[in-house]
Structure 1
Amino acid sequence: MAKIHLKIDDPNHTFIIAEAGSNWKSGSYEEDLEQAKKLIKIASKAGADAVKFQTYKADTVYAYNAGNSNYLAEQGINKEINEIFEYLSMPYEMISELSQICNDEKIIFMSTPFSVEDAKQIDPFVSLHKIASFEINHVRLIEFLSKTEKPILISTGASTFDEIDFAVNLIKNNKNNEIGLLQCTSKYPAPIESLNLSAIPKMKERYNIPIGFSDHSVEPLIGPLTAVGLGATIIEKHFT
């Protein structure tokens, strides 16, 4: 397992996470794996510290009758959200293969879980965990990840300080103090004016832990460079 700049609080290094999301999906299992391998190689060649995927099952993310997504409908996708997520869900058996490819390419493998079962599947293959914005109050998931004794990064999109306080304290109460927070705007894509990067120094002062930025904007540099200038030491950027 790659060990390159694993410490997320290194003041002399900005920890870069290349977010692949669900864009490894191409067709058959073999085609999906080949596409994921290409993304991993691109992220490694670009110098990222880690490449991150997402691990979920449709029935643990949305209710069975969730219906269509207005956001996706705007993109011309009119299928029910459950059907879309079922198609995009990563087979658990792919996790070990992606981890090995990352090891070969000297880049850290990450994948965001959305349930405790997802977390159990990825935990043997990751060096640190990531909690998505909308899971910030998922108590069972946070407790499980805390007990792995691995560093945990939390995105904070659409969260209040009370909700962030709750998640941070829950992790610390489970005797895990390796925590990082990522300022995030939960809009896809996020307009530059919505990034709220002024929250970064406020979060640094409030929590005294590593603070970063999860960027959903289409601009490649404006958000990340500004965030680093404001004290961010972790940058997560979608590159697909």
Structure 2
Amino acid sequence: MNTSISIGSKIIGQSYRPLIIAEMSGNHHGNIDRAFAIVDAAAKNGADAIKLQTFTPDTLTIDSKRHEFLIDDSESPWFGKYLWDLYSEAYMPWEWQEELFKFARNKGLACISTIFDISSLEFLLSIGVDAIKIASFELIHIPLLSEASCCGKPLLLSIGMATLDEIQKAVETIRKRGCENFILLKCTSAYPSTEKDANILTIPDLRSRYNCYVGLSDHTLSPYAAFAAVAHGAVMIEKHFTLSRSERGVDSSFSIEPAELHQLRLGTEMVWESLGKVCYEPLSSEKTSLKERPSIYVVKSIKSGETFTHENVRIIRPSGGLLPEFYDQVIGRKAKVTMEAGTPLSWDIID
């Protein structure tokens, strides 16, 4: 595993806070001004990268009304739509994408897009994409993975629905072509998904199995799965992003809004900072607290030659006296000097 991976000007690795990707998907609603507004809102609310999807309906499917092409899951946000019609609605004109990338870079964002065939890969390379995303559905598209692994750009591979054998084959495919700059993204391909299906413990297992960085492509509406993912080593969080779910659209029901993106950015960074390192020593921030640890003090005035008893010496806060572990050794011994209450005990004043 590389020590870090660069996506545009952004650096990804365990030593860096998690990268936050705002996925526009179909939330542009076919309006270029809205697409620019989404990029702007993503930048203002803490995203590190914007992600588009580069396809046309006929690069994904054919215009067929056979039942195989109908989404018949009543729980799906796209229930009752034919694939061609859905992709026609979600499609972003390719001529927008270079201008959106330029705008995003001026806002400090890295630029990523999902490919679905060779033509989309070639197009994105021609406009200077920073990284290539492989959607969960295309993880089994071995010819596409093979071609993408030679493009010289980092690859992000979502693994929703995938079996271990399918993930293994995908990783073997890209590594055979010399690609080591890749990140596996734990994903649940349900729209929206629920926290109980997040299975975040898969993240450290993926990292161990494939010796690679792992992130989360998250379709829940809350930030909690993302926080858990960062706690388990995720280096990247991807969320669908819209200006407002109330405006509706093909992907709005599982997209987060600007205020939620802002909280995601703050929360993941705080979780990442809290991981820190393995540490078994006092921190500089604990300096004041160290002074409040208990120690052995005189609690009643003692004359020189008087015996220390449970009544005139106690273990109390603050520090400054002998450590509590020496209390039994002090009891029964005599004072070398006269001491007032509140005097911290030390060996040089004990006979």
TM-score, normalised relative to structure 1: 0.90
Alignment of 1:34-73 (within 5 A): 34-65=33-64, 66-71=68-73
- The match for 2:145 among 142, 147, 153 is 142
Distance change >3 Å, CA 176–CA 75, structure 1 → 2: closer
Which residue does 1:205 correspond to in 2? 208
Q: Tell me, in whole angstroms, the C-alpha distance in 1 between the residues paired with 2:78 and 2:213.
A: 39
Which residue does 1:93 correspond to in 2? 95
Residue type at the aligned position of 1:136: L
Which residue does 1:112 correspond to in 2? 114
Alignment of 1:1-240 (within 5 A): 3-5=8-10, 7-26=11-30, 32-65=31-64, 66-71=68-73, 75=77, 78-124=80-126, 125-219=128-222, 221-240=223-242
Q: Deviations over 1:70-121 (max 9, x none)?
A: 2478547644221221232122211111111112211111110111111111
Distance change >3 Å, CA 194–CA 180, structure 1 → 2: same
Residue type at the aligned position of 1:13: R
Which protein shows a greater Rg?
Answer: 2
Q: Secondary structure at the match of 2:140?
A: coil
CA apart distance, 1:3: 3.4
Q: Are the aligned partners of 2:113 and 2:131 in contact in 1 as well (CA < 8 Å)?
A: no
Q: Tell me, in whole angstroms, the C-alpha distance in 1 between the residues paired with 2:79 and 2:169.
A: 36
What is the RMSD of the two structures over their aligned residues, measured on CA atoms? 1.9
Q: Tell me, in whole angstroms, the C-alpha distance in 2 between the residues paired with 1:199 and 1:134.
A: 19
Q: Tell me, in whole angstroms, the C-alpha distance in 1 between the residues paired with 2:77 and 2:159.
A: 25
Distance change >3 Å, CA 134–CA 76, structure 1 → 2: closer
Q: Which has the higher contact order (CA 8 A, sep 6+)?
A: 1
Q: Secondary structure at the match of 1:183?
A: strand
Residue type at the aligned position of 1:25: H
Q: Are the aligned partners of 1:11 and 1:233 in contact in 2 as well (CA < 8 Å)?
A: no
- 5+ long unaligned stretches in structure 2: 1-6, 243-351
Residue type at the aligned position of 1:234: M
Distance change >3 Å, CA 136–CA 76, structure 1 → 2: closer
- 5+ long unaligned stretches in structure 1: 27-31
Q: Tell me, in whole angstroms, the C-alpha distance in 2 between the residues paired with 1:64 and 1:197.
A: 37
Most deviating of 173-182 and 11-20: 11-20
Q: Are the aligned partners of 2:14 and 2:233 in contact in 1 as well (CA < 8 Å)?
A: no
Q: Tell me, in whole angstroms, the C-alpha distance in 2 between the residues paired with 1:129 and 1:3.
A: 12
CA apart distance, 1:11: 2.3
Q: Are the aligned partners of 2:69 and 2:83 in contact in 1 as well (CA < 8 Å)?
A: yes
Which residue does 2:339 correspond to in 1? none
Distance change >3 Å, CA 205–CA 79, structure 1 → 2: closer
State percent identity of aligned pairs: 33
Q: Tell me, in whole angstroms, the C-alpha distance in 1 between the residues paired with 2:17 and 2:167.
A: 25
